[in-house]
Protein backbone atom coordinates (compact mmCIF):
# COMPACT_ATOMS: atom_id res chain seq x y z
CA UNK A 1 0.00 0.00 0.00
CA UNK A 2 3.01 2.26 -0.23
CA UNK A 3 2.68 2.96 -3.97
CA UNK A 4 -0.24 3.88 -6.22
CA UNK A 5 0.25 0.70 -8.24
CA UNK A 6 -0.06 -1.54 -5.19
CA UNK A 7 -3.03 0.34 -3.81
CA UNK A 8 -4.91 -0.13 -7.08
CA UNK A 9 -4.55 -3.92 -6.81
CA UNK A 10 -5.95 -4.26 -3.27
CA UNK A 11 -9.24 -6.20 -3.24
CA UNK A 12 -9.82 -6.66 0.50
CA UNK A 13 -8.65 -5.16 3.77
CA UNK A 14 -9.40 -7.27 6.83
CA UNK A 15 -8.13 -6.21 10.22
CA UNK A 16 -7.63 -9.14 12.59
CA UNK A 17 -7.32 -8.71 16.34
CA UNK A 18 -3.54 -8.85 16.13
CA UNK A 19 -3.28 -6.29 13.36
CA UNK A 20 -2.18 -2.73 13.93
CA UNK A 21 -3.26 -0.92 10.80
CA UNK A 22 -1.65 2.39 10.03
CA UNK A 23 -3.69 5.53 9.66
CA UNK A 24 -4.02 6.30 5.94
CA UNK A 25 -5.30 9.36 4.19
CA UNK A 26 -8.75 9.46 2.65
CA UNK A 27 -7.04 9.70 -0.75
CA UNK A 28 -5.35 6.35 -0.14
CA UNK A 29 -8.75 4.71 0.27
CA UNK A 30 -10.14 6.43 -2.81
CA UNK A 31 -7.31 5.04 -4.95
CA UNK A 32 -8.11 1.42 -4.11
CA UNK A 33 -10.33 0.99 -7.14
CA UNK A 34 -10.63 -2.83 -6.83
CA UNK A 35 -11.47 -2.90 -3.13
CA UNK A 36 -14.57 -5.04 -2.47
CA UNK A 37 -14.28 -5.73 1.29
CA UNK A 38 -13.32 -3.25 3.99
CA UNK A 39 -13.19 -4.60 7.55
CA UNK A 40 -11.41 -2.16 9.84
CA UNK A 41 -11.89 -0.25 13.07
CA UNK A 42 -11.24 3.14 14.58
CA UNK A 43 -8.91 5.67 12.96
CA UNK A 44 -8.17 3.74 9.77
CA UNK A 45 -8.06 7.00 7.79
CA UNK A 46 -6.88 10.36 9.07
CA UNK A 47 -10.04 12.14 7.87
CA UNK A 48 -13.55 11.32 6.75
CA UNK A 49 -13.54 9.37 3.47
CA UNK A 50 -15.48 11.53 1.03
CA UNK A 51 -15.41 9.02 -1.81
CA UNK A 52 -15.46 5.28 -1.21
CA UNK A 53 -14.22 2.75 -3.79
CA UNK A 54 -17.00 1.95 -6.26
CA UNK A 55 -16.34 -1.81 -6.18
CA UNK A 56 -17.02 -2.08 -2.45
CA UNK A 57 -19.55 -4.78 -1.58
CA UNK A 58 -19.26 -4.83 2.21
CA UNK A 59 -18.15 -2.19 4.73
CA UNK A 60 -17.53 -3.24 8.33
CA UNK A 61 -16.05 -0.29 10.18
CA UNK A 62 -16.21 -0.69 13.95
CA UNK A 63 -16.00 2.57 15.95
CA UNK A 64 -16.08 4.75 12.84
CA UNK A 65 -14.57 7.96 14.31
CA UNK A 66 -16.00 10.70 12.08
CA UNK A 67 -19.13 12.82 12.55
CA UNK A 68 -20.64 12.21 9.11
CA UNK A 69 -20.83 9.47 6.52
CA UNK A 70 -21.63 10.40 2.93
CA UNK A 71 -22.44 7.67 0.47
CA UNK A 72 -22.04 9.35 -2.89
CA UNK A 73 -20.78 8.41 -6.33
CA UNK A 74 -21.45 5.03 -7.91
CA UNK A 75 -21.85 2.62 -4.98
CA UNK A 76 -24.32 0.32 -6.71
CA UNK A 77 -22.36 -2.84 -5.79
CA UNK A 78 -22.60 -2.23 -2.05
CA UNK A 79 -24.48 -5.07 -0.28
CA UNK A 80 -23.74 -4.52 3.42
CA UNK A 81 -23.04 -1.50 5.64
CA UNK A 82 -22.08 -2.42 9.20
CA UNK A 83 -20.81 0.42 11.38
CA UNK A 84 -21.60 -0.27 15.03
CA UNK A 85 -20.47 1.88 17.97
CA UNK A 86 -19.75 4.80 15.66
CA UNK A 87 -19.56 8.57 16.09
CA UNK A 88 -21.82 9.45 13.18
CA UNK A 89 -24.11 12.45 13.63
CA UNK A 90 -25.29 12.64 10.03
CA UNK A 91 -25.77 9.90 7.45
CA UNK A 92 -26.29 10.92 3.83
CA UNK A 93 -27.42 8.58 1.07
CA UNK A 94 -27.25 10.47 -2.21
CA UNK A 95 -27.14 7.65 -4.76
CA UNK A 96 -29.11 4.59 -5.79
CA UNK A 97 -28.04 1.55 -3.77
CA UNK A 98 -30.01 -1.16 -5.50
CA UNK A 99 -27.94 -4.03 -4.07
CA UNK A 100 -27.75 -2.81 -0.47
CA UNK A 101 -29.73 -5.26 1.69
CA UNK A 102 -28.07 -4.96 5.12
CA UNK A 103 -27.59 -1.91 7.37
CA UNK A 104 -26.43 -2.25 10.95
CA UNK A 105 -25.85 1.01 12.84
CA UNK A 106 -26.59 -0.17 16.35
CA UNK A 107 -25.05 1.83 19.18
CA UNK A 108 -24.78 4.98 17.08
CA UNK A 109 -24.55 7.26 20.09
CA UNK A 110 -24.81 10.60 18.28
CA UNK A 111 -27.08 10.17 15.27
CA UNK A 112 -30.38 12.09 15.58
CA UNK A 113 -32.09 11.27 12.29
CA UNK A 114 -32.10 8.43 9.79
CA UNK A 115 -32.41 9.41 6.11
CA UNK A 116 -34.70 8.55 3.23
CA UNK A 117 -34.18 4.99 2.02
CA UNK A 118 -36.17 5.34 -1.20
CA UNK A 119 -32.92 4.84 -3.08
CA UNK A 120 -32.30 1.58 -1.20
CA UNK A 121 -35.17 -0.40 -2.75
CA UNK A 122 -33.98 -3.88 -1.73
CA UNK A 123 -33.09 -3.22 1.90
CA UNK A 124 -34.00 -6.25 4.04
CA UNK A 125 -32.21 -5.81 7.40
CA UNK A 126 -32.10 -2.54 9.37
CA UNK A 127 -30.73 -2.36 12.91
CA UNK A 128 -30.93 1.00 14.69
CA UNK A 129 -31.00 -0.37 18.22
CA UNK A 130 -29.41 1.54 21.10
CA UNK A 131 -29.31 4.79 19.14
CA UNK A 132 -30.02 6.83 22.24
CA UNK A 133 -30.30 10.25 20.55
CA UNK A 134 -32.20 9.10 17.49
CA UNK A 135 -35.31 11.29 17.23
CA UNK A 136 -36.66 10.74 13.73
CA UNK A 137 -36.67 8.10 11.02
CA UNK A 138 -37.77 8.98 7.52
CA UNK A 139 -41.25 7.71 6.64
CA UNK A 140 -39.77 5.73 3.76
CA UNK A 141 -38.56 3.18 6.33
CA UNK A 142 -42.02 2.54 7.75
CA UNK A 143 -43.54 1.96 4.31
CA UNK A 144 -40.61 0.07 2.77
CA UNK A 145 -41.72 -2.95 0.76
CA UNK A 146 -38.66 -5.15 1.20
CA UNK A 147 -37.51 -4.74 4.82
CA UNK A 148 -37.79 -8.08 6.64
CA UNK A 149 -36.12 -7.25 9.98
CA UNK A 150 -36.40 -3.88 11.78
CA UNK A 151 -34.82 -3.34 15.20
CA UNK A 152 -35.40 -0.03 17.00
CA UNK A 153 -34.77 -1.34 20.51
CA UNK A 154 -33.71 1.23 23.11
CA UNK A 155 -33.88 4.17 20.74
CA UNK A 156 -35.68 5.98 23.49
CA UNK A 157 -36.12 9.46 21.99
CA UNK A 158 -37.59 8.25 18.71
CA UNK A 159 -40.80 9.95 17.59
CA UNK A 160 -43.86 7.90 16.75
CA UNK A 161 -44.36 7.18 13.03
CA UNK A 162 -47.68 8.04 11.42
CA UNK A 163 -48.23 4.38 10.56
CA UNK A 164 -46.42 1.14 9.71
CA UNK A 165 -46.99 -0.27 6.24
CA UNK A 166 -44.34 -2.90 5.53
CA UNK A 167 -45.68 -5.87 3.63
CA UNK A 168 -42.46 -7.94 3.82
CA UNK A 169 -41.74 -7.31 7.52
CA UNK A 170 -41.23 -10.51 9.53
CA UNK A 171 -39.68 -9.28 12.80
CA UNK A 172 -40.17 -5.95 14.57
CA UNK A 173 -38.35 -5.08 17.80
CA UNK A 174 -39.44 -2.03 19.82
CA UNK A 175 -38.29 -2.48 23.44
CA UNK A 176 -38.08 0.86 25.29
CA UNK A 177 -39.36 2.91 22.37
CA UNK A 178 -41.42 5.42 24.33
CA UNK A 179 -43.84 6.05 21.47
CA UNK A 180 -45.47 2.65 21.98
CA UNK A 181 -46.28 3.28 25.65
CA UNK A 182 -49.84 3.50 26.88
CA UNK A 183 -52.26 4.30 24.08
CA UNK A 184 -49.73 5.40 21.48
CA UNK A 185 -49.06 2.29 19.44
CA UNK A 186 -49.11 3.27 15.74
CA UNK A 187 -51.60 1.85 13.29
CA UNK A 188 -50.72 -0.90 10.84
CA UNK A 189 -51.75 -0.45 7.24
CA UNK A 190 -51.93 -2.60 4.13
CA UNK A 191 -50.61 -6.12 3.98
CA UNK A 192 -48.86 -7.09 7.24
CA UNK A 193 -49.56 -10.82 7.24
CA UNK A 194 -45.88 -11.79 7.08
CA UNK A 195 -45.03 -10.34 10.48
CA UNK A 196 -44.05 -13.31 12.67
CA UNK A 197 -42.25 -11.70 15.63
CA UNK A 198 -43.32 -8.56 17.52
CA UNK A 199 -41.17 -7.68 20.52
CA UNK A 200 -42.18 -4.82 22.82
CA UNK A 201 -40.85 -3.89 26.24
CA UNK A 202 -43.42 -1.51 27.68
CA UNK A 203 -47.03 -1.10 28.76
CA UNK A 204 -49.72 -1.07 26.11
CA UNK A 205 -53.28 -0.38 27.23
CA UNK A 206 -55.06 -0.59 23.93
CA UNK A 207 -53.96 -2.34 20.79
CA UNK A 208 -54.91 -0.61 17.54
CA UNK A 209 -57.82 -2.04 15.58
CA UNK A 210 -55.38 -2.61 12.74
CA UNK A 211 -53.70 -5.28 14.88
CA UNK A 212 -56.01 -7.72 13.14
CA UNK A 213 -53.86 -7.29 10.02
CA UNK A 214 -51.09 -9.28 11.75
CA UNK A 215 -52.62 -12.57 10.74
CA UNK A 216 -49.30 -14.42 10.74
CA UNK A 217 -48.04 -13.28 14.15
CA UNK A 218 -46.65 -16.24 16.10
CA UNK A 219 -44.24 -14.68 18.65
CA UNK A 220 -45.45 -11.77 20.76
CA UNK A 221 -43.50 -10.34 23.69
CA UNK A 222 -44.63 -7.48 25.93
CA UNK A 223 -42.26 -8.02 28.83
CA UNK A 224 -40.94 -5.19 30.96
CA UNK A 225 -37.32 -4.96 32.03
CA UNK A 226 -38.04 -3.54 35.47
CA UNK A 227 -40.77 -4.44 37.90
CA UNK A 228 -42.94 -1.67 39.24
CA UNK A 229 -46.37 -0.18 39.48
CA UNK A 230 -48.32 0.73 36.41
CA UNK A 231 -47.57 4.15 35.02
CA UNK A 232 -51.29 4.99 34.81
CA UNK A 233 -52.82 4.29 38.23
CA UNK A 234 -56.30 5.34 37.13
CA UNK A 235 -56.49 2.77 34.36
CA UNK A 236 -59.24 0.22 34.89
CA UNK A 237 -59.97 -3.00 33.08
CA UNK A 238 -57.77 -5.29 30.98
CA UNK A 239 -54.48 -3.51 30.48
CA UNK A 240 -53.46 -5.07 27.19
CA UNK A 241 -56.54 -6.60 25.62
CA UNK A 242 -54.80 -9.97 25.43
CA UNK A 243 -57.94 -11.66 24.13
CA UNK A 244 -57.59 -9.64 20.94
CA UNK A 245 -54.15 -11.03 20.16
CA UNK A 246 -53.99 -13.24 17.06
CA UNK A 247 -54.96 -16.88 17.51
CA UNK A 248 -51.89 -18.08 15.59
CA UNK A 249 -49.52 -17.23 18.46
CA UNK A 250 -47.01 -19.92 19.34
CA UNK A 251 -44.97 -17.88 21.84
CA UNK A 252 -46.44 -15.30 24.23
CA UNK A 253 -44.35 -13.34 26.72
CA UNK A 254 -46.26 -11.23 29.27
CA UNK A 255 -43.60 -11.10 31.94
CA UNK A 256 -43.79 -8.50 34.74
CA UNK A 257 -47.10 -6.92 33.74
CA UNK A 258 -48.79 -7.16 37.16
CA UNK A 259 -51.70 -8.98 35.54
CA UNK A 260 -54.57 -10.28 37.65
CA UNK A 261 -56.73 -13.29 36.82
CA UNK A 262 -59.68 -11.14 35.67
CA UNK A 263 -57.42 -9.58 33.02
CA UNK A 264 -56.66 -12.92 31.40
CA UNK A 265 -59.00 -14.94 29.16
CA UNK A 266 -60.59 -17.98 30.75
CA UNK A 267 -60.92 -19.85 27.45
CA UNK A 268 -57.20 -20.08 26.68
CA UNK A 269 -57.57 -23.09 24.42
CA UNK A 270 -59.95 -21.16 22.16
CA UNK A 271 -58.03 -17.87 22.17
CA UNK A 272 -54.57 -19.38 21.47
CA UNK A 273 -54.97 -23.02 20.40
CA UNK A 274 -51.45 -23.15 18.91
CA UNK A 275 -49.57 -21.81 21.95
CA UNK A 276 -46.31 -23.66 22.70
CA UNK A 277 -44.51 -21.24 25.05
CA UNK A 278 -46.10 -19.00 27.68
CA UNK A 279 -44.23 -16.68 30.05
CA UNK A 280 -46.39 -15.23 32.84
CA UNK A 281 -43.61 -14.65 35.36
CA UNK A 282 -43.80 -11.67 37.68
CA UNK A 283 -47.60 -11.27 37.54
CA UNK A 284 -50.29 -10.99 40.23
CA UNK A 285 -52.31 -14.11 39.50
CA UNK A 286 -53.87 -15.87 42.48
CA UNK A 287 -54.83 -18.76 40.24
CA UNK A 288 -54.71 -19.70 36.57
CA UNK A 289 -57.74 -20.58 34.44
CA UNK A 290 -58.53 -24.28 34.33
CA UNK A 291 -58.55 -24.10 30.53
CA UNK A 292 -54.75 -24.01 30.56
CA UNK A 293 -54.93 -27.81 30.69
CA UNK A 294 -56.56 -27.72 27.24
CA UNK A 295 -53.59 -26.02 25.58
CA UNK A 296 -52.63 -29.25 23.88
CA UNK A 297 -49.40 -27.90 22.36
CA UNK A 298 -48.03 -26.06 25.40
CA UNK A 299 -44.47 -27.19 26.21
CA UNK A 300 -43.02 -24.30 28.23
CA UNK A 301 -44.66 -22.40 31.09
CA UNK A 302 -42.90 -19.82 33.26
CA UNK A 303 -44.66 -18.72 36.46
CA UNK A 304 -41.59 -17.59 38.40
CA UNK A 305 -41.98 -14.63 40.75
CA UNK A 306 -45.78 -14.88 40.79
CA UNK A 307 -45.82 -14.13 44.50
CA UNK A 308 -49.62 -14.35 44.87
CA UNK A 309 -50.13 -17.63 43.04
CA UNK A 310 -51.71 -20.12 45.47
CA UNK A 311 -52.28 -23.20 43.36
CA UNK A 312 -51.54 -24.76 40.02
CA UNK A 313 -54.30 -26.27 37.91
CA UNK A 314 -53.80 -29.38 35.84
CA UNK A 315 -51.37 -28.71 33.04
CA UNK A 316 -51.14 -30.21 29.55
CA UNK A 317 -49.30 -33.49 29.29
CA UNK A 318 -46.85 -32.09 26.71
CA UNK A 319 -45.34 -29.67 29.24
CA UNK A 320 -41.56 -30.09 29.17
CA UNK A 321 -40.48 -27.06 31.22
CA UNK A 322 -42.33 -25.61 34.20
CA UNK A 323 -40.70 -22.76 36.11
CA UNK A 324 -42.23 -21.66 39.41
CA UNK A 325 -39.32 -20.13 41.34
CA UNK A 326 -40.16 -17.70 44.14
CA UNK A 327 -43.89 -18.43 44.10
CA UNK A 328 -44.10 -17.66 47.80
CA UNK A 329 -47.84 -18.31 48.21
CA UNK A 330 -47.96 -21.56 46.29
CA UNK A 331 -49.71 -24.23 48.35
CA UNK A 332 -51.35 -26.77 46.06
CA UNK A 333 -49.06 -28.39 43.51
CA UNK A 334 -50.28 -31.96 43.29
CA UNK A 335 -52.09 -33.35 40.24
CA UNK A 336 -50.62 -30.72 37.99
CA UNK A 337 -50.65 -32.71 34.79
CA UNK A 338 -53.78 -33.66 32.85
CA UNK A 339 -54.20 -37.24 31.72
- pLDDT digit string (tens) for 114-124? 999 999 999 99
**Residue 136 β-bridge partners:** 113
- pLDDT of 137: 96
Stretch 291-307: mean pLDDT: 95
Predicted pLDDT at 237? 34
> In 3-state terms, what secondary structure has residue 266?
coil
Average pLDDT over residues 62-86: 94
> Residue 2 pLDDT > 70, yes or no?
no
> Which residues make beta-bridge pairs with 103?
81, 126
pTM greater than 0.75:
yes
Q: What is the mean pLDDT of residues 77-93?
A: 96
DSSP state of 337: B
Among the residue ranges 83-97, 208-222, 306-320, the one predicted with the least confidence is 208-222
Judged against a pLDDT cut of 70, whether residue 19 lies above it is answered with no
Q: What is the pLDDT of residue 307?
A: 93
At residue 339, the pLDDT reads: 44
> Mind listing the pLDDT tens digit for each residue in 205-245?
667 788 888 989 999 987 654 444 444 333 333 345 566 67
Give dist(CA 236, CA 117) in Å, integer: 42
Confidence of residue 60 (pLDDT cuts 50, 70, 90): very high
What does the alpha-carbon distance between residue 240 and residue 238 come to, in Å, rounded to a whole number? 6
Of 36-45, 89-98, 175-184, 231-240, the poorest mean pLDDT is in 231-240
pLDDT at 30 over 50: yes
pLDDT of residue 231: 42
Q: Is 178 exposed, middle or buried (0-12, 13-18, 19+ CB in 10 A)?
A: middle
Q: CB 61: neighbour CB atoms within 10 A?
A: 22
CA–CA distance, 32 with 13 (Å, rounded to integer): 10
> In this predicted structure, what is the pLDDT of residue 151?
97
Among candidate residues 303, 310, 304, the one with its CA nearest the CA of residue 332: 310
End-to-end CA distance of the chain: 73
E strand or H helix that includes residue 187: strand 187-188
* Torsion sign, CA atoms 110, 125, 129, 84: negative
Q: Are 311 and 331 in contact (CB under 8 A)?
A: yes
Q: pLDDT tens digit string along 164-179?
A: 999 999 999 988 877 7
Amino acid sequence: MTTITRRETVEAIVETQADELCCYSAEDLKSMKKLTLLQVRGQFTSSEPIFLPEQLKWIWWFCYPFRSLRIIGDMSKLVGLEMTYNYIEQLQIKVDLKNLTFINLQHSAYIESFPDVSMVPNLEFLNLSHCRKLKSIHNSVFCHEKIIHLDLSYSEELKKPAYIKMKSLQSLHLPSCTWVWGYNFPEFMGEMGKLLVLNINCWIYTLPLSFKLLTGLSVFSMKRSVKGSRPYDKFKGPSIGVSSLPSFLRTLNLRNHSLYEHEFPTNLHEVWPHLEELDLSGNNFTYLPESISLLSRLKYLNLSDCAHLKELPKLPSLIQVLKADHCLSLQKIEDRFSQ
